[in-house]
Chain A
C-alpha cells in the first residue's frame, strides 16, 4: 500500500542571473580557461613555500601551547586545527599532494581531540615531522601512493588514535 502523498510543496522554476549570463555566447572556451588557470596557479605558487613554512610553524606552536597547559582545555587543538585545515585545503592545489594527505590525517586526529579524545603527543609529533619532510623539494611532487610506507604508517597511527589505544598525551 503506497504512502499517502504529502502536501505538495510549492515548486517553481528560477532562472537565476548566473544561469542567464553564464550561458551567453562569448565565454572563454573551457580548454583555454583551464590553461589560463594553470598559468595563474603558477604565479600563486611563488609565495606558497613561505606561507606553508609559516602555517606549519603556527601549527607546531599551538601544539606546544597545549603541552604547556596554557590555554587550558582544547582551545589549543581548535587553534591548531585551523592551521591544519588551511594546509590541507591548499596543499594539493599547489602541487603538494603529500602535504594535503598528512594534514588531512592530522585534522582527523585534532577533530577527535576537540570532540573529547585524549591527545597523543607522539602521534601528533609524528604528523608534524612528516609535514616538515613532505614540504621538502624531493618529496613535494610525490603522492601518498608513491610513499606507501609513510602513508600506510600514518593511516595506522590514525586508526590507533581512533580506537583509543596507545600512550596518553596532553592532559
Chain B
C-alpha cells in the first residue's frame, strides 16, 4: 500500500451513506485531507441522480445504501455507456468484510471495499492506492469495470485469456489476496483491494 502524498483539492467526492453521523465523519476526514468539494447523499435514488447529472471524480458508497444497495448503484453506473462517470473509482464501504461480499463488490465493478468503522489512516491510504496504482478496465458482455486481476502470471484454467502466459503446471492462477487483511482499522477488519477474477 502506497503512502505517497495525494492532492485532492478540487476533486469532486460523492459520499453515499444513509447514516448521517457516519457521513459526517467521512466528509470531515476528506476535508482534513484537503478535499474542497464533497457532497453527501442518503439514498440510492439521490446517488444515481447525482451520478447521472454531474461530473463526479470518486464515489464512496455504503453497500447497504437504501433502497437498492451500493452494489446496485455501482452496477448501474458501470453499465451505462453514455455516463461520463462510468469509469470513476468506486469504494464500497461496508461493516461486513466477508469474502463473499468482497467478491460481489468486485464483480459489480467496485475498485475497493473499505471496512467500517473507518480510520483516517485506512481512508487516506486507500485513496492514495487508487491514485497511484494504474489498473486496466475490462469491457465484456457481462462485466464492465476495473480489471479484477492484479498480476499476469502463468494461468491455464477456465477463463484464461489469450494474453495469459501458459502455465507449466495446470491450475496456476494469477491471484492476489482476497481475504480482508489485518490493517490499521480500529476494529479487526480492514479495507481490501479487489482481488483478481
* Contact yes or no, A23 B132, CB < 8 A: yes
Provide the residues of chain A in CB contact with B21, threshold 8 Å.
48, 51, 86, 90
Q: Complex formed: what's the CA distance from A94 to B136 in Å?
A: 37
- Tell whether B38 is near chain A: CB-to-CB under 8 Å: no
Cβ contacts A to B, 17 pairs, < 8 Å: A3-B157, A6-B161, A8-B161, A9-B139, A11-B137, A17-B55, A18-B58, A21-B8, A23-B132, A27-B8, A28-B5, A30-B4, A41-B28, A44-B24, A44-B25, A88-B117, A92-B187
Complex CA distance for A87 and B43, rounded to whole angstroms: 18
Interface pair B187/A100, CB less than 8 Å apart: yes
The distance in angstroms between the C-alpha atoms of A107 and B131, with both chains bound, is 34
A92 touches B186 (CB 8 A): yes
* Contact status B57-A89, CB under 8 Å: no
Q: Which size bracket describes the interface of B in this complex?
A: 35 or more
Chain B residue numbers with a CB within 8 Å of A21 are: 7-8, 10-11, 57
Instruction: Give B9-35 as 1s and 0s: 1 = Cβ < 8 Å from A's Cβ atoms.
Output: 111000000110110110011011110
**Nearest Cβ in chain A — how far from B12, in angstroms?**
9
Contacts of B3 in A (CB 8 A): 30
Q: When the two chains form their complex, are residues B160 and A44 in contact, meaning their CB atoms are under 8 A apart?
A: no
Q: Which residues of B contact A97 (CB under 8 A)?
A: 186-187
Q: Is the CB of A107 within 8 A of B11?
A: no
Interface residues of A, Cβ cutoff 8 Å to B: 1-6, 8-19, 21-30, 33-34, 36-41, 43-44, 48, 51, 82, 85-86, 88-94, 97, 100-101, 104, 107
User: How far apart are A133's CB and chain B's nearest CB, in angstroms?
Assistant: 19
Complex interface: chain B residues within 8 A of A37 (CB): 28-29, 32-33, 120, 124
* A86: B residues at CB distance < 8 A: 19, 21-22
Chain B CB within 10 Å — which of A3, A16, A18 has the most?
A18
Measured between alpha carbons, how far is A90 from B157 in the docked complex, in Å?
42
Given the known interface contacts A6-B160, A16-B57, A34-B121, the answer about A88 and B116 at a Cβ–Cβ threshold of 8 Å is yes
Are A19 and B131 in contact, with the CB atoms below 8 A? yes
Is the CB–CB distance between B162 and A5 below 8 Å? yes
Q: How far is the CB of B4 from chain A (nearest CB, A)?
A: 8
- B181 proximity list for chain A (CB < 8 A): none
Contact A11 B147, beta carbon cutoff 8 Å: yes
Majority-rule SS of B interface residues: loop
CA distance A22 to B187 in the complex (A): 28
Whose C-beta in chain B lies nearest to the C-beta of A11? B136
Q: B10 to chain A: which residues have CB within 8 Å?
A: 21
A14 contact from B32, B128, B137, Cβ within 8 A: B137
Please, which residues of chain A bring their CB within 8 A of the CB of B4?
A: 30
Which residue among B11, B19, B31 has the maximum number of chain A CB atoms within 10 Å of its CB? Answer: B19
Contact between B31 and A2 (Cβ–Cβ < 8 Å)? no
CB distance from B191 to the nearest CB of A (A): 13
Whether B25 pairs with A25 at a CB distance below 8 angstroms is no
A9, A14, A16, A107 — most chain B CB neighbours (10 Å): A9
B101 at interface, CB cutoff 8 A:
no
Given contacts A2-B156, A19-B130, 13 further A-B contacts (CB under 8 A): A5-B164, A17-B88, A22-B7, A22-B131, A27-B6, A27-B34, A28-B33, A28-B34, A36-B32, A37-B33, A91-B117, A93-B117, A93-B186
